[in-house]
C-alpha cells in the first residue's frame, strides 16, 4: 500500500466550505481512480492547517493518478480557499496497517 499526504493552509473562514467541497466533489471522483483505497481530510480548526491522506494499492497507482492529471484537477478546486496558493506533497510506503 502507498500513501500520499498533501498539506496546505486554508483561510479560516473557508474551512466549512472546503470540507463540503472535499466530501461532495473530491471523494466521489477519487473512488473512480484505479487503485484508490481511502482518503482522509485532516483539519486543525484553530489554525486552518490541513492535510489530506490518500491511500493507494501501489505506488504505480498513485503516480498514474498524478500523470492522468486527476490529482492536479482536485488541487485547483481549492485555490480560492487557501491562505497561500501552495501545496506540499509527500509520499510514503505503508509498512504497517492495523
Look up the domain containing 37 and give its range: 2-91
Q: Is 14 contained in some domain?
A: yes
pLDDT digits (tens, 9 = 90+) for 46-73: 999 999 999 999 999 999 999 999 999 9
Q: Is 98 contained in some domain?
A: no
Q: Is 59 contained in some domain?
A: yes
- Chain centre distance of CA 31: 13
Structural domain count of the chain: 1
Structure letter (DSSP) for residue 33: S
Are 62 and 35 within 8 A, CB to CB? yes
Q: Is 47 contained in some domain?
A: yes
The predicted pLDDT at position 85 comes to: 87
Q: Is 7 contained in some domain?
A: yes
Over residues 14-39, the mean pLDDT reads: 96
CATH number where 74 lies: 3.30.70.100
Q: Is 18 contained in some domain?
A: yes
Q: Is 96 contained in some domain?
A: no
Identify the CA nearest to 12 among candidates 55, 69, 50.
Answer: 50
Over residues 7-35, the mean pLDDT reads: 96
Amino acid at each position: 500500500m502507498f500513501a500520499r499526504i498533501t498539506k496546505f493552509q486554508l483561510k479560516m473562514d473557508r474551512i466549512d466550505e472546503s470540507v463540503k467541497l472535499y466530501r461532495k466533489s473530491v471523494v466521489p471522483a477519487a473512488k473512480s481512480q484505479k487503485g484508490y483505497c481511502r482518503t482522509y481530510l485532516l483539519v486543525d480548526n484553530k489554525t486552518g492547517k490541513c492535510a489530506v491522506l490518500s491511500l493507494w494499492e501501489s505506488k504505480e497507482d498513485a503516480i498514474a493518478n498524478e500523470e492522468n492529471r486527476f490529482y492536479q484537477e482536485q488541487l485547483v478546486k481549492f485555490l480560492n480557499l487557501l491562505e497561500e496558493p501552495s501545496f506540499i506533497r509527500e509520499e510514503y510506503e505503508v509498512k504497517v496497517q492495523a
